[in-house]
Each structure stands twice: as C-alpha cells, then as structure tokens.
Amino acid sequence: MSVEETEETPEIEAGVTVEDEVLETLGDTAQDTEEHLNADASVVVRPDQVQDTLFALRDEMGYDHLSCVTAQEYEDRYESIYHMKQYDDPTQEVSVVVPASKDEPISQSAEPVFRTADWHEREAYDLVGINYEDHPDPRRILLPETWQGHPLGHDYDQDSPQIVTLGEWDNPLRDDHVDNEADTMFLNIGPHHPATHGVLHVKTVLDGETVADVDPDIGYLHRCEEQMCQQGTYRHQIMPYPDRWDYVSAGILNEWAYARAAEDLADIEVPEYAQVIRTMSAELCRIAAHMLALGTFALDVFGDFTAIFQYSFRDREVIQNILEDLTGQRMMFNYFRLGGVAWDLPEPREEFFEKTRDFLEELPAKLEEYHDLITGNEIFQLRCVDTGILEPEVAKSYGATGPVARASGIDYDLRRDDPYGYYDELDWDVITEDGCDNFSRVLVRMQEVEESAKIIEQCIDLLEEWPEDDRTIQSNVPRTLKPEADTETYRAVEAAKGELGIYIRSDGTDKPGRFKIRSPCFSNLQTLGEMSEGEYIPDLIASLGSLDIVLGEVDR
C-alpha cells in the first residue's frame, strides 16, 4: 500500500481548526491528511480502521450524514472516499480517504456505522472492484450478477462479450417460491410494471397481505453516466448528460450540480445576472418535477388516470412551454454553461415575464384544486396518513435528503444551508413536516411548489429591473479547461429529489479522471424496506410512489 501523497498548496478555506479537531479525535487512526477543495478536513486512514474512524466522527464530532462513497482506481492503489457532512450544517465536511492495495483491494465496510453505506459500497464493488470486508450483502448492484469485470477499473475491456440471464425474472408461483411452512410467497414487482415509475424491480416476500421483505433490484437503466462524463470535456461535452439523470424536466437542477462542482474545481466566477436566471429556471424545473411526482402518486394511490394525472400534466405543459422559450428545449435543456448560462432571456422580454407571471398567478388556484382532489380526499387520507413511516433517525442513517427527509422533520435544504446561486438573497422558507408518513411527503412537495413560485417571482422582479448594460450571462472561461492534476472536489446542490452531489478528480487533461454522481434517489430508495416491511402491500406501492424516485438517477 502506498500513500505517498503529502502534498500541495496550503489550505484555502483555512479549515485548520476543523482539521486539527478531527485529527485530535481520531488520534492514531489518521495516517495523513489530504487536500480536498471543499472539505475542511480530509484524513487518510488504514482500510481496517474505517468503522472506528466513522464511529468517532459520527458520535464525537456530529458528522451524521454519509453523503457519498466514491471509489476509484489509481495507478498504484484503489481508494474509497467517504464524504461526510452534518445534517445541521452541511458546510462542515470531512472526507475520509481509505486506500487499498492494488493486488488485494479489501477495505472494511462502513455499513455498521451508516446503513446507507450498504448500497454505496455494493456500487463501488460493482463498478470499481473494491471488496468490502464485513459487508452484509456483497453482491453486484447495477450490473447483472453474471457480469465479468469491473467497468470503471483500469484494465476493463469493453469489447469482451457478456452473458445476462433472465433468471431473476422469477415466477412467483414456482414451487420453490411458495413456502408452505411459513406461509409466505415471493412476488416480483417490475421491472415492467406501472407502479414502479420506470424500470425498477422490487423483489417482495409476502406473508398473506403483509410485506415480509422487500429487496429493490436496480440497474435496469444503468446507462454508464459516469463513464460518459469521464469521456467528455469539461467545457461542453458533459453538460448534456445531467439533463438525463433526473429526467422529469428537472434537468436544470442537475446541470447546476455539475456546474457547481466544475466551477469550484476550475475556480470560475459566475456573473450575478446569470445566477438570477439560473435560480429562476431551476425553480421552474422544481415545480415541473414536483407536479409529475404529484400526478404519478395520485395515479398510484387512486389509479386515477383521468383527472389529477391529466391536471398535473396540463400544468407541466405550461412550465415546459416557458422553459422552451428560455432554453429552446422542452426537457433536455442543456442551458447552463460553465460560468453562466447559454443565452439571455428571450426577446421580447416583457412577453416572457408576462407569460411566467400568468403562470404564477394561476398557480395558487390550481394548488387549491389539487388539495381538494388529493389531500382533502378521504380515500387518499386513509391510504396515506400513518403509512410508510420513516423515523428521522432512520432517514439520517440511510442518507435520505430532499422532500423525503424534510417530511420526516429533518430541516435540511442545501439551498439555505450551503447557499449557492441567488438563494440567500431571496425570501423563502424551507418546508418541513413532522408526520414522517406518505401524506407528509406529498404535503412537503405541494408546499415546496409554493415556495418555488415565491422564488421565481422575486427573480422575475429582479430581472425586470436589471440595468441593461450589466447583463453578462457568461464570464470568461478558457476554451479548454485543464484543472491541475489531482485536484478533487465534492459539491452538492438541492435537486428536486434531494442532495445531488458530484465528485470530480482531475487528471491534468481536459477530461475528468473520475466523475462520481451522488444521486439522492439512490439513497432515498434504500429506505423502502424500512417503510414497508410489516405493512400491507398497497402501502408498499404508496410508499414507493411517495419516495418519488427516477430510475435514470437511481441507476445513472
């Protein structure tokens, strides 16, 4: 094992105190410190001391949010990075770097500390090839079980043939799936099923009408997003991909995640005017995304294809129309550029403002209608109140974020807690609910739509007044970006589903050496078992709907 990396430039954000504190808490466990652009401290620990370190950081220093686990292969070693934050203050970040040897990449699992590590480490094993000792369930997660090799490792040959079985596609009535003794039955839901919102496969064990066990099987839409981003140049070739992670018209929110990480990496300033446009367009996207969540949830719970579903699509059409005026596309906007946005508001500006204002004006009445139809409906309440309970402590342990976390009373929103864009200049609130159930999650989304509308309105006021000679939409960005080799950053934004983080390590070329996406849906989906085991099967469907997952983002 070689960790010859005592580098580089001095700390930027003068996080010395935090680093000292961390080192003091960890004592001898820490071997070294490293430089990460965002994290105040970054410690290197031995692969057999992962659990001790994370326990210490969690229990003694309050780093209770394991945001992401990044795995990567270097010339001389493997490395897992645990990006940790605090739910109370996400600007407090620590990265725990765990090197593992090239010949025998074994590292201790962090699952006993944070349950979210379960899936993250499975993914790291699947794509990069690090083995985690102590892991409760060391299987592949995104690729089929029969896959050969680890595609993001160095010596993977993409042209070698692969065989994929249809065996997982089990027949629930087959002999070995019905257990006469225990009276349970195995049931496949998906991957082609109307209630799974895409191509999710939920392996369920039923005990009568009660769910005994669920195991979400993902990877049916694993489109190699990370590989695609590692093959693209920073300046233009990566930006189109984020649109396709969370593809329910939430594109701009995702673009912002990449923009934020890359701008941080390459030290790019964004003009204020562009920030306002970014904020406005991102919030429009959020409304569109929440509308879809609402419509499909009503579809799941009522089976209502006619009224509510169609209403929410009517409203989405209006937003898509506005966004099309702005960006030129209905869904895959590709509107952000590093250092700004692609172009200014459409001319004539007044028309655009008017159109958007009209939409905002009509919104409250529409929301009231939704409340009448959905939250005020008795059947809906029966199905959703007090079902799919997710306790805050459990949610934290699974790294849940976004509306899912906020509906469990966790007051966590990166727009406010780790401000970017123009959010901290505007007047709006973070919505939380204490119900922890399916109903609260719907309520949070519906109220967030109102907050987003507030933000958009303020942005429009600002844009209307903005002096004409100060409308810079992009700062000067070099044609080819080549950040210094081995600079790393992990940055997150509040996307429609929660914390969407990007880890980038540059290797000195114009393409990233490692590009890792921390998807909020991936973490949120893990809570499904907690929410639905022991409940009735219809509640499982409701819980799944209330999580509002998008498979493009879960699988990436």
Report the site for ligand SF4 in 279-308 (rule: CB under 6 A). Answer: none
Report the site for another protein in 204-233 (rule: CB under 8 A). Answer: 219-225, 227-228, 231
Least distance to another protein from the beta carbon of 390, Å? 26
Is the peptide bond between 191 and the residue preceding it cis, with omega within 30 degrees of 0?
yes
Whether 123 contacts 107, CB under 8 Å:
no
355 versus 454: smaller Cβ distance to another protein: 355
Member of 162, 171, 381, 480 binding another protein (CB under 8 A): 162
CA distance 442 to 67: 24
Nearest residue to ligand SF4 on Cβ basis: 244
135 versus 556: smaller Cβ distance to ligand SF4: 556
Q: Is 132 exposed, middle or buried (0-12, 13-18, 19+ CB in 10 A)?
A: buried
Member of 316, 396, 497, 505 binding another protein (CB under 8 A): 316
Q: Establish if 244 lies at the interface with ligand SF4 (CB under 6 A).
A: yes
The site for ligand SF4, by CB under 6 A, has a size of 2
Return the structure tokens found at 264.
């941080």
The binder of 437, among another protein, ligand SF4, none, by C-beta within 5 to 8 A per type, is: none
Q: Give me the residues paired with residue 79 across strands.
A: 72, 99
The binder of 428, among another protein, ligand SF4, none, by C-beta within 5 to 8 A per type, is: none
102 versus 244: smaller Cβ distance to ligand SF4: 244
Member of 1, 332, 360, 430 binding another protein (CB under 8 A): 332
Alpha helices in 72-160 (DSSP H): 117-127
Is residue 373 helix, strand or coil? helix
The binder of 99, among another protein, ligand SF4, none, by C-beta within 5 to 8 A per type, is: none
- The label of the residue with tokens 């719970």 reads 301
Q: Establish if 164 lies at the interface with another protein (CB under 8 A).
A: yes
244 versus 366: smaller Cβ distance to ligand SF4: 244
332 versus 367: smaller Cβ distance to ligand SF4: 332
Least distance to ligand SF4 from the beta carbon of 244, Å? 5
182 versus 307: smaller Cβ distance to another protein: 307
Return the structure tokens found at 129.
């090839």
47 versus 242: smaller Cβ distance to another protein: 242
Is the peptide bond between 136 and the residue preceding it cis, with omega within 30 degrees of 0?
no
Return the structure tokens found at 423.
């959010």
- The label of the residue with tokens 């790393």 reads 488
Report the site for ligand SF4 in 332-351 (rule: CB under 6 A). Answer: 332
Q: Establish if 77 lies at the interface with ligand SF4 (CB under 6 A).
A: no
Q: Which candidate, 353, 374, 408, 357, places its Cα nearest to that of 531?
A: 408
> What is the rounded end-to-end Cα distance, in angstroms, of the chain?
31
Q: Establish if 240 lies at the interface with another protein (CB under 8 A).
A: yes
Alpha-carbon distances, residue 483 vs 262, 268, 298 (angstroms): 9, 11, 47
The binder of 297, among ligand SF4, another protein, none, by C-beta within 5 to 8 A per type, is: none
CA distance 319 to 367: 15
Least distance to another protein from the beta carbon of 313, Å? 4
Is residue 309 helix, strand or coil? helix
169 versus 348: smaller Cβ distance to another protein: 169
46 versus 150: smaller Cβ distance to another protein: 150
Member of 9, 158, 180, 476 binding another protein (CB under 8 A): 158
Residues 483-504 as b or e (16 or more Cβ within 10 Å = b):
beebbbbbbbbbbbbbbbbbbb
Q: Establish if 177 lies at the interface with ligand SF4 (CB under 6 A).
A: no
Whether 315 contacts 446, CB under 8 Å:
no
The binder of 256, among ligand SF4, another protein, none, by C-beta within 5 to 8 A per type, is: none
**Chain centroid, CA 273 distance in Å:** 27
Q: Give me the residues paired with residue 493 across strands.
A: 500
The binder of 158, among ligand SF4, another protein, none, by C-beta within 5 to 8 A per type, is: another protein
The 3-class secondary structure across 229-287, one letter per residue, is HHHCCCCCCCCCCHHHCCCCCCHHHHHHHHHHHHHHHHCCCCCHHHHHHHHHHHHHHHH
Q: Establish if 145 lies at the interface with another protein (CB under 8 A).
A: yes
Return the structure tokens found at 377.
């409906």
CA distance 319 to 346: 15
90 versus 216: smaller Cβ distance to another protein: 216
Fill in the DSSP letter of residue 4.
-
139 versus 223: smaller Cβ distance to ligand SF4: 223
Least distance to another protein from the beta carbon of 265, Å? 23
Q: Establish if 143 lies at the interface with another protein (CB under 8 A).
A: yes
Mind giving me the DSSP string for 464-530? HHS-GGG---B----SS--PPTT-EEEEEEEETTEEEEEEEEE-SSSSEEEEEEE-HHHHHHTTHHH
Give the binding site for another protein (CB under 8 A): 143-148, 151, 156, 158-167, 169, 191-194, 197-199, 219-225, 227-228, 231, 240-241, 243-244, 247-249, 292, 309-311, 313-314, 316-317, 320, 330-332, 551-552
Give the binding site for ligand SF4 (CB under 6 A): 244, 332
